[in-house]
Amino acid sequence: MVPTDLHYTKDHEWVRVDGDEATVGITAYATEQLGDIVFVELPDVGRSLDQFATFGVVESVKAVSDLFAPVGGEVLETNAALTGQPELVNSEPYEGGWMVRLRLADAAQLDELLDATAYDALIAAG
């Protein structure tokens, strides 16, 4: 079971909402599919993202994958630790491997995301 306090995209990002702030990362399932993550490219602080817009790139040894914003908003902070330790995304996908913190533009956008039960069903279906 994935963490129940998060919302998920079909592209395997998660978002944790705390007041009007939203923290975004990728799921454990995504990291297992990608394998060893060796590089993460994140947006500049202050940039404004639309919901489902590409906000960065995650690279494993073999593959390059886009990252999609689960919700829209202004980038407040990016996880600087990932510059030197991208492997945190593999080892702590829901904690130390977070990627960006956003100012949530519109809480109604959360309705377009999956809850933990629906996301579990999605990955179980492969």
Minimum Å gap between C-beta 51 and another protein is 21
User: Quick one: how far is CA 18 from the chain centroid?
Assistant: 15
Separation CA 70–CA 25 (nearest Å): 9
Question: In this chain, which of 45, 48, 57, 117 binds another protein, going by CB under 8 A?
Answer: 57
Question: In this chain, which of 38, 110, 116, 122 binds another protein, going by CB under 8 A?
Answer: 38
Nearer to another protein, 62 or 111 (CB): 62
- In the range 7-26, which residues lie near another protein by CB under 8 A? none
Q: Is 62 in the site for another protein (CB under 8 A)?
A: yes
List strands edge to edge, sheet with 73-78.
7-8, 13-18, 21-26, 100-104, 73-78, 48-49
